[in-house]
Chains A and B, each alone.
Chain A
Amino acid sequence: MTRDGHDRRARRRGQGELEAQVLAVLCEAPGPVTAAWVQERIGDSLAYTTVVTILTRLLAKGAVTRARDGRSFLWTPAADGAGLAALRMRKVLDGETDREAVLSRFVTALPPGDEQLLRDLLEQAGQPDDAAGPDEG
């Protein structure tokens, strides 16, 4: 995961991958750890402040939790890499007011009037083949 360890490359990798990387390190930790521990594990590619920034961002997303330990914080993962992807994905979708217009989703939301109609159709879909007549919907 840390195959390209240089600072500039790390920055170019972008926020998404850095968050995933920090979270992956945190998931490997034996227990709650400090930001310095995370930075050490990631290698010299990230500044301490960058690690803290990313951890804070993960905290805002609900992907990590922290507890005060003396003058510093101890960090614990609340989600794994896939969980973080889910949180970020939901943010992308919620951010698009007209999201059906961009990503073609499996289904679009049902207007209230359609629900009963759909239930009737599904009842028909559950029956054996010969029971289905022509549909006038």
Chain B
Amino acid sequence: MGVFVFLPLVLPLTAWPVARLAEQHLHPRTATRLLTAVGGVMAVCSTLCLALLMVVGTAQLPGNPLPDGWSDPEVRAAVPHDEVAGKAAIPALAAVLVACARVVLRHHRVPRRARRALAGLRAPGVAVVPDTVPYAYALPGGDRDRVVVTTGLLSLLTPPERRALFAHERAHLAGRHHRHLLVARLAARANPFLLPLSRAVAYSTERWADEDAARTVRDRRVVARAIGKAALVSRPAPSPTLAGLAAPGPVPRRVAALLRPAPSARTWPPVGTGAGLAAWAAAVGTAVSAMSSANSAVTMIRILHAATFL
């Protein structure tokens, strides 16, 4: 097992270049799927290796309730620096599990509360809420998918812009984007190195819905205008951290992307380009991550099998 058990913990770094370049060089649909898959696999591998390290860690605890063979020196010898790594893995794994549980709870709680709030409205599909505060979002709910939009936002938009808004939100629902987002958020909780990936997935789902909306209304500028108008009337961000130094936020980047020609629907960037290399790096990183964690898991099972006479 040796050093292999540590590899999946740091291999998410290989996905950083593609998380950064996907926005410019990949179709948002491809980017969402690629980044979600890479993030999901890497998060599972990383958590598995954390669990294996935890097994080594629990073997060191005095009075652990596990079989005697569990603390066999052979188990510990399987991992370099077992003293530190094993013990550190126990709280780390606990933190990962708690953080992931909270993400899942929130993922279900907020839409459920939103659905309950709209319980009085019978109209299916679209819920127009009389409120001066402008907002809109897609509320997934199995066969009761809904687009929620306030009269405040609708009154600011022209009829074509309204169609663009609805097309955007329906694209979120039709593409089941909330599932991609859930996987990405869980991945970021499982391994903090996957945070840039999670942010890139959040952005590329918005771009994906923008592109779908542009195709539906057959006018990229109308979608750009709808996004821009909605953003300008929304409440400003509560805490502008280093706003002066930060790169442009997601909204101007989305509008700028819509003012450019539609991205090509090519599934994989050419190998010679930076984006192509980045995509391959992430793919190789994912494969190595999967192989290392499989290798470590098999080794650990063998050791335990031998040590505990299972």
Contacts and interface: CB of A to CB of B under 8 A. Distances in A.
A82 B128 CA distance: 8
B50 interface: no
Interface string B212-248: 0000000001001101111110111110100110101
B172 A92 contact: no
Interface in A80-137: 81-86, 88-93, 95-96, 99, 101-115, 117-119, 121-122, 124-126, 129, 132, 134-135, 137
B255 A125 contact: yes
B266 interface: no
B169 A91 contact: no
A72 interface: no
The main secondary structure of chain A at its interface with chain B is helix
Interface residues of A, number: 53
Interface stretch (B69-77, B93-101, B130-138): B130-138
Contacts of A112: 236-237, 240, 243
Contacts of A17: 119-120
Contact of B224 (A82, A92, A121): A121
Contacts of A81: 120-121
A124 B118 CA distance: 38
B305 interface: no
B136 A106 contact: yes
Contact of B169 (A88, A106, A122): A106
A2 to B, nearest CB: 13
Contact of A89 (B114, B177, B231): B114
B224 A93 contact: no
A125 to B, nearest CB: 4
Contact of A118 (B185, B205, B228): B228
A125 B106 CA distance: 37
Nearest to A118: B252
B255 A121 contact: yes
Nearest to B133: A90
B237 A122 contact: no
Interface in A18-64: 19-21, 23-24
B252 A114 contact: yes
Given A118-B252, A135-B259, A96 B110 contact: yes
Interface in B109-167: 110-111, 113-114, 116-121, 127-131, 133, 135-139, 148, 150, 153, 165
B128 to A, nearest CB: 7
Contacts of A85: 117-121, 127, 129
Contacts of A21: 120
Interface of A: 14-17, 19-21, 23-24, 79, 81-86, 88-93, 95-96, 99, 101-115, 117-119, 121-122, 124-126, 129, 132, 134-135, 137
Enumerate the 4 nearest inter-chain pairs by beta-carbon distance, A residue then B residue, closest first: A20-B120, A88-B117, A16-B119, A137-B256
Given A105-B137, A106-B168, A109-B234, 7 more contacts: A14-B119, A82-B128, A102-B107, A106-B169, A109-B237, A110-B236, A118-B251
